[in-house]
A and B are shown apart, each in its own frame.
Chain A
Amino acid sequence: MTTGAGVHLTSLSRSYSGVAALDGLDLLVEPGEFVSLLGPSGCGKTTALRILAGLETADSGRVLVGGRDITRVPANKRDMGMVFQAYSLFPNLTARDNVGFGLRLRKMSGAEERSRAGELLELVGLADQADKYPHQMSGGQQQRVALARALAIRQRVLLLDETLSALYAQVRVQLREQIRRIQTELAITTLFVTHDQEEALAISDRVGVMSRGRLEQLDSPGAVYQRPATPFVAEFIGVTNSFSGSVSGSDLLLADGARLPAAVLAEQPDGAPARVLVRPVDLHVAAEGQLAGTVLTHSFLGPVTRLAVRLANEDVVRVDVPSAAAAASPVGAMVRLAVEPGSAFLAA
């Protein structure tokens, strides 16, 4: 069926009344690849997507799809399927007619249009809703119709703009699995914009973390999670505890004299102020631990239980322990915490 085209964005810049939304963005997406752009709001991810779709124009830089420069091609000649955050279905058309909208523009016959629209509704599991109007469908169903509509035109690139953000948690997970399945099946080049890091990590071949109009890191989900390339990425991915102090060899010296092993500090000058980040999963309750504190609360999260621990300096850190072992550190207990060697990241 569809074979995706590669996408190449080169030094895209765009500013709105003096504020840079994109600041020389470079991005290369392989044919058939699923890439997520992840970042806080205002980082430029949506602007990048809209420039690729042709809905915005870049101040400078080029957009190449399948090796062809389409920087000046208008949106309606680009053959890109776009799925918006919400409410993008035409309210006056049934699900089938929505899916058929782009087909009719491609001079497809009525019968062909019907059968292809039916096929796509089948693909997203909504064959029985073909004659419903958008206002008669749930949010999740509407987004699936929007997906079918975008897929119908045999687009070269599929663009997903916060497509799942307006949905309930459960529907969200279901739909993202469905999108990934269809995308893999059809091998469509897909660019997905989201602010939800869990979503981006779960669904993508590669994740691009953006900040201030630039790409901070573009890598596989595992690499982004385990080896954040910059302090910004480290902070943005995953819940993190933050420790401030000064560099002392390859340790962080805290104000109360406690030492926290942090190999990342080895190259920093001694005595310089520094902040490091540690994931809750990389803190352990251990008798020989370097940090002391009092357990404040337990939050049961299934396989692990997350403890909130108040340290001597009044900071509260989060520590994940296996749920079976949580009873050993009851609320109010004094505990010592150890840091998993090599797990600390340098903070921005």
Chain B
Amino acid sequence: MLPALGAVPFLAYVGVFLLYPTLVVVGGAFVDDDGALTLQNVRAVVGSPYLEAFVRSLQLSAITAVVGAVLGALLAWAVATGDPDGLLRRVVTSASGVLAQFGGVTLAFAFLATVGFEGLVTVALREQGIDLFAGGAWIFELPGLVLVYTYFQIPLMVIVFLPALDGLKPQWREAARSLGGSAWTYWRRVAGPVLAPAFFGSMLLLFANAFSAYATAAALVSQGAPIVPLQIRNLQTSEVLLGQQNLARALGLGMVLVVAVVMALYALLQRRTTRWLR
């Protein structure tokens, strides 16, 4: 069976650097320090403070997914209605690529420069007598994360939703018009329903993106751990290694499960999208 040997290097590599770590996470979630089976880690995850972190992570992901999807779709629409080879489109897609995928730490600093204690906006408002931080240091807490996450969620939406908008055939609009329909009829009965799967699919993608994100939060929040990835950081870097390690694995398993469910729904909607928009 010589041909089968060709796939061995790849499978071995993936086995060591992807499957093994995955199994460590899944297996570790269900054992104690001595390697005996236990549900203790899983039970800890569904109790305080980890459950709260999960709830906040879900809130953060949901809010930024919805806001990012709506605003991103609007921006994508504004770009798609312009010249397909124009400067506007090139600038927006390139900027979106950078902000959506490259950002991380740099975006955290961007917002510190804007609405941090000495940020441009903070200082400008202070001169007007308005204290941006009257309600507390929100920039380092969940509201701050919502703001910064939105900053990379909108560009991600632009990138994933633009192809769907491009897939709308001009003939559909023209056919609807020549059959007597107004622009509103076209959007309500054709473009809306056709874009819906792509829109909600993209929203799920944004959700998974925010839920998995770590860098921005890590750079912004140095004290406390409002969301799950930061809880994992605390466990991972804490001095007391034993016992914590498996708890981190249980948290990781929880994250994988959430993302897996979301991505499965995404794949389902994606299938519908490609059937209508080619």
Judge A-B direct contact (beta carbons within 8 Å).
yes
Name A residues whose Cβ lies closer than 8 Å to a Cβ of B: 53-55, 74-82, 84-93, 101-102, 105-106, 135, 146, 149-150, 153, 159
Starting from the known contacts A80-B178, A84-B174, A92-B193, 9 additional A-B residue pairs (CB-CB under 8 Å) come to A53-B178, A75-B178, A81-B178, A84-B171, A88-B172, A91-B276, A101-B176, A135-B276, A153-B179
Q: Is A135 in contact with B275, judged by CB distance below 8 angstroms?
A: yes
B175, CB-defined interface residue at 8 Å = yes
Residue of A nearest to B185 (CB): A105
CB distance from B182 to the nearest CB of A (A): 6
Q: Is B180 in contact with A105, judged by CB distance below 8 angstroms?
A: yes
Contacts of A79 in B (CB 8 A): 180
Q: Is A87 in contact with B169, judged by CB distance below 8 angstroms?
A: yes
Interface residues of B in 149-176 (CB under 8 A from A): 169, 171-172, 174-176
Q: Is A76 in contact with B275, judged by CB distance below 8 angstroms?
A: no
Q: Is B177 in contact with A76, judged by CB distance below 8 angstroms?
A: yes
Q: Is B180 in contact with A88, judged by CB distance below 8 angstroms?
A: no
Residue of B nearest to A80 (CB): B178
Name B residues whose Cβ lies closer than 8 Å to a Cβ of A: 169, 171-172, 174-182, 185, 189-190, 193-194, 275-277
Q: Can you give 25 contacting A-B residue pairs, CB < 8 Å?
A: A53-B174, A53-B178, A54-B177, A55-B174, A75-B177, A75-B178, A80-B178, A82-B174, A86-B171, A87-B169, A88-B169, A90-B176, A90-B189, A90-B190, A91-B277, A92-B190, A93-B189, A93-B190, A101-B179, A102-B181, A105-B179, A106-B180, A149-B179, A150-B179, A153-B180
Q: How far is the CA of A159 from the CA of B177 in the complex (A)?
A: 14
Residue of B nearest to A159 (CB): B178
Residue of B nearest to A97 (CB): B189
Contacts of B174 in A (CB 8 A): 53, 55, 75, 82, 84, 88
Q: Is A90 in contact with B172, judged by CB distance below 8 angstroms?
A: yes
CB distance from B102 to the nearest CB of A (A): 35
Residue of B nearest to A91 (CB): B276
Q: Is A105 in contact with B181, judged by CB distance below 8 angstroms?
A: yes
Contacts of A135 in B (CB 8 A): 275-276
Contacts A101-B189, A105-B185 given; indicate if A92 touches B175 (C-beta within 8 A): no
Q: Is A82 in contact with B194, judged by CB distance below 8 angstroms?
A: no
CB distance from B270 to the nearest CB of A (A): 15
Residue of A nearest to B194 (CB): A92
CB distance from B25 to the nearest CB of A (A): 40
Q: How far is the CA of A101 from the CA of B176 in the complex (A)?
A: 8
Q: Is A87 in contact with B182, judged by CB distance below 8 angstroms?
A: no
Q: How far is the CA of A129 from the CA of B190 in the complex (A)?
A: 20
Contacts of A81 in B (CB 8 A): 178-179
Contacts of B275 in A (CB 8 A): 91, 135
Q: Is A88 in contact with B276, judged by CB distance below 8 angstroms?
A: no
Q: Residue A55 contacts which of B178, B179, B180, B181 (CB distance < 8 angstroms)? A: B178
Contacts of B276 in A (CB 8 A): 91-92, 135
Q: How far is the CA of A82 from the CA of B277 in the complex (A)?
A: 22
Contacts of A53 in B (CB 8 A): 174, 178
CB distance from B16 to the nearest CB of A (A): 42
Residue of B nearest to A79 (CB): B180
Contacts of A90 in B (CB 8 A): 172, 175-176, 189-190, 194
CB distance from B186 to the nearest CB of A (A): 9
Q: Is B179 in contact with A102, judged by CB distance below 8 angstroms?
A: yes
Q: Is B181 in contact with A76, judged by CB distance below 8 angstroms?
A: yes
The 8 closest A-B pairs by CB, nearest first: A102-B179, A88-B171, A91-B276, A75-B177, A82-B178, A92-B193, A105-B180, A84-B171
Q: How far is the CA of A92 from the CA of B172 in the complex (A)?
A: 11
Contacts of B181 in A (CB 8 A): 76, 101-102, 105
